[in-house]
Chain A
Amino acid sequence: MELFKNTNFDFLGKKWPFIIASLVLTVAGFGSIILQGGIKFGIDFKGGTLMTVKFDDKPNLEKIRSAVNARIQGENTVQDFTDPAAKNEVEIGTEMKNETQLNINRRALEEILLNNFGQPNNGKLDFNNASQQSLVERLRDPLARAGVAMSDQQLQAVAKAMMDYRDTPPRSGLIHDFADLSSLPGVNAGIMNTLKQECYLAPYHILKTEMVGPKVGAELRNKAVYATLYALAGMLVYIAFRFEWIYGLGAVIAVFHDTLITIGLFSIFHEEISMTVIAALLTLVGYSMNDTIVIFDRIRENIKIMRREPLESLMNKSINQTLSRTIMTSGLTFLTVIALFLFGGPVLHGFSFALVCGIIVGTYSSVFIACPIVLFWHNYSDRRRKVAPVMASAPRADAPRKSPSKAAK
């Protein structure tokens, strides 16, 4: 099966609509960022507390929000997830002005949850949010008093079995009835009785707590940005060395363009930039660069074969020759990423969103951004050469003089 056999599309003739579309997208992204008062960073980069809580039933966001705002000053966020895999989950975020608030805010959030949804005054341990150790400590003496003979190891093993049962899907941290535990290995009627006496089941479970001090956040952000910029510079130098400097510049501008548009799309869709999103951005940089180099490589090869061909039609031919490969690779990678986006769950959401945007933008930028830049430069320098009488006879097609001969293999 072959889809694109001997195509002959005039890609570069249609570059302007795409360049304009890119500019519009970039401007829209920037506009959105400005309207929202800057890039929406996750707590990795701006500092803050973020708690993800899974509820038994559809949670009352308004109730949580007012309780949080009453207790914690500053800009707080309470939101649920659209992802069906994260049903009944809520993310509570608070700002953090300095490191000392780190623990205060976490404790405040835990208390808010306990007071609003748990049973703060019955003196029992909340099984759904207990750790193995706290469960063991809670049960040890009552079990001894109730005459249930078991060694510390046995008790630890039973507690571990209960925790493991609670934490594996589909429970995912929440059980509704103690009776579910009765069939676990090592659990007997005596243990069940004591467990019911000493513990209760709150209708929520804290899945994740993340706290990042603002200083660390700023540091992480700067490091990530600088690392990426240095990496781009490194690629520019390598491509300049293998091709021509303008090819390097074109490829880097195209990749930069992809990153900007993706960040803009994040702002437009109200997605946060977190550390995993940075990993995704790096992935798309790698992907888009790969795509561009494949096309450049073909251009370099064709320049040697078709010496008399004007650069624009030569580029068009090269893009057409690699079109089948471009579509195949992008399509296949897109399949993987779409799978990640659809089934990957909330943890991978931002990550896969960046890749979905990135692959689309990264594929067309190789054709409509990187190539036109190289073309513009060559047309411009040709015109200058024509003005200069000495250089007038220099044949255009010899331009990539630096191409190493081994590439002709």
Chain B
Amino acid sequence: MKNNISWRAVVIVATIVLCVFGIIGVPKSGAELKQNFSKNIRLGLDLKGGTHLVMQVQVQDAVKADAEQTADRLKEDLRKQAITYGGMDVNEVSRVEDANKVAISIKGIPSTQSSSFRSLVSERYPTYILTAQNSTDYTMQLKPTDLLDLESDTVKRAIDTIGNRIDELGLAEKSVQPYGQSSSTFQILIQLPGVDDPARAKELIGTAAVLEICDVKDGPYASREEGLAKHGGILPLGTKLARAKPRGSGDVEQWYLLGKTPVVNGAEMRNARAGQDEFRKWETSFTLSQDGGRRFGRYTEANIGNRLAVVLDNQIVSVATIQARIEDSGRITGLGSEDEAVDLSRYLRSGSLPARVITNEERSIGPSLGADSIHQGIVAGIAGLLAVIVAMLVYYKRAGVNAVLALILNTVVLLAAVSYFHAVLTLPGIAGIILTIGMAVDSNVLIFERIREELRGGKSVIAAVDAGFGKAWWTIVDTHVTTVVSCAFLFLFGEGPVRGFAVTLVIGLVANVFTAVFVSRTIFDYELAGRRQLQELSI
């Protein structure tokens, strides 16, 4: 019996140590304790303030762009193979739900050429399905699987792009992720803790054309002042000064004089990839839209030997010298490292959103409101908890201490779980905690009332404690399992806040079984151990 108790005590102490460590770490001072606590127990936007955005990616834009490019290529192919056609166009689609209705319609293919037309399409455009409308007219649509791929890729790219754009804001805790059933609603959730200026954040997120490729007129200079001084204090017409993005902390400032109108902007950037050239030097290759490619071709031809700067958000991320005429696909070579090439390709891609995004939901909670609600919530929570503790102690006397210990331990385990799982505490999460505390109180009350009943029935103290725990056990199992079952459904079918509620509640219930049954029982056993003749129990 004694051994058994010390073994259980070890488990309990180890759990407490682990939990306390999870919540506050190993603080060396009061300030550090506070700091660790707020770092580990992360509060949701509704409690601490910040901006929450749900945006919908207009995937039909990307589907349409793909169809238009395909139509352009097809025109070229038809010309090469001398197949005549009357007209070709892509229909307008404005709603996300209609992305699958985007189609290229080709009119007036002579019936004599229909078989060569069909084989051309099936050979060169495997992602498209060709449907004949009548003997001369056809429509082409993306295959359903390719459509899904394109859509999910568009959402992923939008998430990447927006994530990169927000990185530029210098936020440590931002989160950009798919929201809801993103495969059918194409929504993304953006959370910006502490941002109280949603207009600015949205401006940055929504702007597609912040990536520019500009011609370098002069530079580098060591500072803005030096650049200004070189030109007598006034910049030449149509130019601007931009700073190169520092690569490390010790990097010297570099400023360049750039042409104000970009040669190519981010909306025309189609893709970019990091790779190695034949000498295994790192490079970044990129593709431009047809329109952009044409303009870039003319410009690069006339400016061989001049420099170009890739500018993101008015910061130069790369400067390269034009070596040859570049049309719709080019390479930036001679990069220092793989990191540099990958970064550059990310910047190039991030400049353009693959499709428009529209805001479906926006919430900005001012930090003062957050501070107020935390303050009031804490006051209310402490008041409630104190009332419960006092009532338990008055009503159950010595045994009430057990319950209070179990209750406090329950809260500690719950907070530790929040910290270890990197969960975020939101208002619905707190609802879950309140229900947990309610059920924790209930478990204790159930057990104590049962022990009292058994004592009234004339059982000895030890037998009554034993029977009380034993009989209450199955009630506790039933109530807890029922709630866990309901949480599983809430988690599976619910969204955002409902899920947060379910997760906290399940954690709390598991903690509760541990504290109310295991810990409380151990304390009872410890008190009763070696006192077989005990006549009275303070309960």
Residues of A within 8 A of B (CB): 1-3, 5-6, 52, 54, 85, 99-100, 102-103, 106, 131-134, 163, 166-169, 171-173, 205-213, 215-216, 219-220, 223-224, 226-228, 230-235, 237-239, 242, 275-276, 278-280, 282-283, 285-287, 289-290, 293-294, 297-298, 301, 321-322, 324-325, 328-329, 331-333, 335-340, 342-345, 347-348, 351, 355, 406-407, 409
**B494 touches which of A171, A216, A224 (Cβ 8 Å):** A224
- Taking the closest CB of chain A, its distance from the CB of B465, in whole angstroms, is 15
Contact A293 B475 (CB under 8 A): yes
Contacts of A166 in B (CB 8 A): 368
The 3 A-B pairs of least Cβ separation, nearest first, read: A345-B376, A336-B384, A173-B368
Contacts of A208 in B (CB 8 A): 363-366, 369
Contact B361 A216 (CB under 8 A): yes
Contact B359 A227 (CB under 8 A): no
Q: Does B340 contact A (CB under 8 A)?
A: no
16 additional contacts, CB 8 Å, given A223-B180, A409-B474?
Answer: A52-B369, A173-B366, A207-B365, A211-B361, A211-B362, A231-B490, A233-B489, A234-B489, A238-B485, A280-B431, A283-B501, A286-B505, A289-B479, A290-B439, A293-B478, A343-B383
Q: Does B493 contact A (CB under 8 A)?
A: yes
Contact B427 A345 (CB under 8 A): no
Interface segment, B70-78, B80-88, B442-450?
B442-450
Contact B368 A205 (CB under 8 A): yes
Chain A minimum-CB-distance residue to B373: A347
- Taking the closest CB of chain B, its distance from the CB of A252, in whole angstroms, is 11
Contacts of B487 in A (CB 8 A): 231
Residues of B within 8 A of A (CB): 46, 54, 180, 185, 187, 196-198, 200, 358-369, 371-373, 375-377, 379-381, 383-385, 387-388, 391-392, 394-395, 397, 427-428, 431-432, 434-435, 437-439, 441-442, 445-446, 449, 452-453, 456, 470-471, 473-475, 478-479, 481-483, 485-490, 492-495, 497-498, 501, 505
Can you list 20 A-B contacts with CB-CB less than 8 angstroms, sorted by A residue number? A131-B196, A169-B371, A173-B369, A207-B368, A208-B363, A227-B490, A232-B486, A276-B427, A276-B497, A279-B432, A286-B435, A293-B482, A301-B471, A336-B434, A339-B381, A339-B384, A340-B380, A345-B380, A347-B369, A407-B474
Contacts of B486 in A (CB 8 A): 231-232, 234-235, 285-286, 289
Contacts of A324 in B (CB 8 A): 449, 452
Contacts of B479 in A (CB 8 A): 289-290, 293-294
Contact B452 A227 (CB under 8 A): no
Interface class of chain B by DSSP: helix
Contacts of A224 in B (CB 8 A): 494-495, 498
Contact A329 B441 (CB under 8 A): yes
Alpha-carbon distance between A212 and B362 when the two chains are bound, in angstroms: 6
- Taking the closest CB of chain A, its distance from the CB of B179, in whole angstroms, is 9
Contact B452 A2 (CB under 8 A): yes
Chain A minimum-CB-distance residue to B427: A276
- Taking the closest CB of chain B, its distance from the CB of A228, in whole angstroms, is 7
- Taking the closest CB of chain B, its distance from the CB of A103, in whole angstroms, is 7
Contacts of A223 in B (CB 8 A): 180, 493-495, 498
Chain A minimum-CB-distance residue to B441: A332
Contacts of B198 in A (CB 8 A): 209
- Taking the closest CB of chain B, its distance from the CB of A203, in whole angstroms, is 15
- Taking the closest CB of chain B, its distance from the CB of A237, in whole angstroms, is 8
Alpha-carbon distance between A212 and B475 when the two chains are bound, in angstroms: 43
Contacts of A134 in B (CB 8 A): 197, 200
Contacts of A331 in B (CB 8 A): 391
Contact B481 A238 (CB under 8 A): yes
Which has the most chain B C-beta neighbours within 10 Å: A133, A290, A348? Answer: A290
Chain A minimum-CB-distance residue to B501: A279
Contacts of B377 in A (CB 8 A): 344-345, 347-348
Contact A297 B372 (CB under 8 A): no
Contact B391 A289 (CB under 8 A): no
Alpha-carbon distance between A210 and B53 when the two chains are bound, in angstroms: 10
Contacts of B488 in A (CB 8 A): 234
Which has the most chain B C-beta neighbours within 10 Å: A54, A322, A345? Answer: A345
Alpha-carbon distance between A305 and B166 when the two chains are bound, in angstroms: 67
Alpha-carbon distance between A169 and B495 when the two chains are bound, in angstroms: 33
Contacts of A235 in B (CB 8 A): 482, 485-486
Contact B482 A332 (CB under 8 A): no
Contact B366 A230 (CB under 8 A): no
Contacts of A325 in B (CB 8 A): 442, 445-446, 449
- Taking the closest CB of chain A, its distance from the CB of B200, in whole angstroms, is 7
**B490 touches which of A1, A239, A282 (Cβ 8 Å):** A282
Chain B minimum-CB-distance residue to A3: B395
**A279 touches which of B359, B428, B446, B483 (Cβ 8 Å):** B428
Contact B359 A102 (CB under 8 A): yes
Contact B388 A332 (CB under 8 A): yes
Contacts of A171 in B (CB 8 A): 368
Contacts of B392 in A (CB 8 A): 332
- Taking the closest CB of chain A, its distance from the CB of B344, in whole angstroms, is 27
Chain A minimum-CB-distance residue to B375: A169
Given A297-B474, A337-B384: A283 and B441 within 8 A (CB)?
Answer: no
Contact A336 B387 (CB under 8 A): yes
Contact B368 A210 (CB under 8 A): no
Contact A219 B180 (CB under 8 A): yes
Given A103-B359, A223-B494: A344 and B376 within 8 A (CB)?
Answer: yes
Alpha-carbon distance between A289 and B486 when the two chains are bound, in angstroms: 10
- Taking the closest CB of chain B, its distance from the CB of A347, in whole angstroms, is 4
- Taking the closest CB of chain A, its distance from the CB of B486, in whole angstroms, is 4
Given A169-B372, A224-B498, A328-B395: A230 and B363 within 8 A (CB)?
Answer: no
Alpha-carbon distance between A318 and B103 when the two chains are bound, in angstroms: 70
Given A52-B369, A216-B360, A328-B395: A340 and B434 within 8 A (CB)?
Answer: yes
Contacts of A275 in B (CB 8 A): 428, 497
Contacts of A332 in B (CB 8 A): 387-388, 391-392, 438, 441, 445
Contacts of A337 in B (CB 8 A): 384, 434
Contact A345 B372 (CB under 8 A): yes
Contact B446 A294 (CB under 8 A): yes
Contact B431 A351 (CB under 8 A): yes
Alpha-carbon distance between A338 and B372 when the two chains are bound, in angstroms: 19
- Taking the closest CB of chain A, its distance from the CB of B167, in whole angstroms, is 16
Chain B minimum-CB-distance residue to A279: B428
- Taking the closest CB of chain B, its distance from the CB of A397, in whole angstroms, is 20
Contacts of B200 in A (CB 8 A): 131, 133-134
Contacts of B490 in A (CB 8 A): 227-228, 231, 282
Alpha-carbon distance between A325 and B443 when the two chains are bound, in angstroms: 10
Which has the most chain B C-beta neighbours within 10 Å: A99, A207, A224? Answer: A207
**A213 touches which of B360, B384, B439 (Cβ 8 Å):** B360
- Taking the closest CB of chain A, its distance from the CB of B514, in whole angstroms, is 18
Contact B380 A328 (CB under 8 A): no
Chain A minimum-CB-distance residue to B363: A210
Alpha-carbon distance between A116 and B164 when the two chains are bound, in angstroms: 39
**A99 touches which of B197, B359, B371, B372 (Cβ 8 Å):** B359
Alpha-carbon distance between A293 and B437 when the two chains are bound, in angstroms: 18
- Taking the closest CB of chain A, its distance from the CB of B34, in whole angstroms, is 15
Given A211-B363, A345-B373: A227 and B489 within 8 A (CB)?
Answer: yes
Given A169-B372, A231-B486, A242-B478: A351 and B427 within 8 A (CB)?
Answer: yes
Contacts of B471 in A (CB 8 A): 301, 409
**A210 touches which of B362, B387, B445 (Cβ 8 Å):** B362
Alpha-carbon distance between A324 and B395 when the two chains are bound, in angstroms: 11
Chain B minimum-CB-distance residue to A232: B486
Chain A minimum-CB-distance residue to B387: A335
- Taking the closest CB of chain A, its distance from the CB of B243, in whole angstroms, is 13
Contact B434 A283 (CB under 8 A): yes
Contact B431 A276 (CB under 8 A): yes
Contacts of A5 in B (CB 8 A): 456
